[in-house]
Amino acid sequence: MSKSTALGLCLLAATAACLADGNGPLLLQEPSVSATQLVFAFAGDLWIAPRTGGEAKRLTTGTGVESGPSFSPDGKWVAFTGQYDGNTDVFVVSAEGGVPKRLTYHPSADVAAGWTPDGKKVLFSSNRNSYSRFAELYLADLNGGLEEKLPLPAGYDGSFSADGKHLAYVPMGRAFSAWKRYRGGMTTPVWLADLATSKVEKIPRDNSNDYCPMWVGDKVYFLSDRQGPVSLFVYDTKTKKVSVAALALYFASRLVGRNSAARTVLFNE
């Protein structure tokens, strides 16, 4: 296990201890890190705490459910999926707190997935324009305006390369997120797309469930059950080889790689 992974786990454990206040462990989910802070979902709201440890503070207090938080590259904003007014849309809120700003208004569900490297747009998935039951990837500008569809036929999750020219993404939805060793026709791959040409490079696999990609430097980290229990793997875009980064995460559900600027690999177990 890398030092950054170990640090992330320690921070999450410390935050849990802080919130528990002697009442036992809490179900803290979907963490995301910036250079100085950690944000996560708990009890339908978002909470934020220092990476060095300390008191976790409630970041959102809306009556709807907030989930999938993701820090902007500069750590000043948190993008998330909010279920307000009977709809599911993409929102952002200042890391210092305040009123969330709504970015999408379509009646279809829009699910926040990350940021562009320059921090000006939020990546999200939606089936708003698809001809069947699949999602596509879009960008929503922080300053408003029409959403921009990425030149890919389908997509559910993604992480940009540092130059913003390539995207590591999952082209299909996960069929059974809680099943172990599923090997049917809905196993999910991770593909690397050149956004200028839409050319795709497929990360090598043998019908495994690969998901939650995170692009850091020349490497793409992702979760996979290719060796049994879900583990953290890394694909080197230079050597074209896959190697193990951390073994046996069992019920690991999400990589926190939406802020690659933090250069920390953290996972939700």
pLDDT in tens, 39-96: 999 999 999 999 998 999 999 998 899 999 999 999 999 999 999 988 999 999 999 9
Distance CA 244, CA 48 (A): 30
pLDDT at 248: 63
Higher pLDDT pick, 229 / 220: 220
Buried b (16+ CB within 10 A) or exposed e, 115-148: bbbebebbbbbbbbeeeeeebbbbbbebeeeebe
Pairing mode, strands 230-236 and 241-250: antiparallel
Distance CA 141, CA 97 (A): 20
Using 50, 70 and 90 to split pLDDT, how confident is the model at 7?
very low
CA distance 22 to 81: 30
What is the secondary structure of 103-140 as a DSSP string? ----SS-EEEEEE-TTSSEEEEEE-TT-SSS--EEEEE
Instruction: Provide the 10 A C-beta neighbour count for residue 32.
Output: 29
* 3-state class (DSSP) for residue 29: strand
The pLDDT of residue 109 is 96
d(CA 217, CA 130): 32
- % of the chain exceeding 90 in pLDDT: 70
Give CA–CA dist 160/70, Å, rounded: 13
pLDDT exceeds cutoff 70 at 234? yes
Q: What integer pLDDT is reported at residue 11 of this predicted model?
A: 46
**pLDDT score for 267:** 55
Q: What is the CA radius of gyration of the chain?
A: 17
pLDDT in tens, 134-167: 999 999 999 999 999 999 999 999 999 999 999 9
Of 35 and 255, which is predicted with more confidence?
Answer: 35
Average pLDDT taken over every residue of the chain:
87
Give residue 1's pLDDT: 45
pTM for the model stands at: 0.86
- Cα separation, 250 vs 255, whole angstroms: 13
Question: How much is the pLDDT for 180?
Answer: 81
- HSE-up of 201 (CA within 13 Å, CB side)? 14
Position 255 scores a pLDDT of 57
- Taking the CB of residue 81, how many other CB atoms lie within 10 A of it? 25
Helix, strand, or coil (residue 233): strand
Question: C-alpha angle with apex 42: 86 to 125, nearest 5 degrees?
Answer: 50
Q: What span, in angstroms and rounded, lies between the C-alpha atoms of 191 and 211?
A: 10
Higher-pLDDT residue of 174, 138: 138
Query: In this model, does residue 185 exceed pLDDT 60?
Result: yes
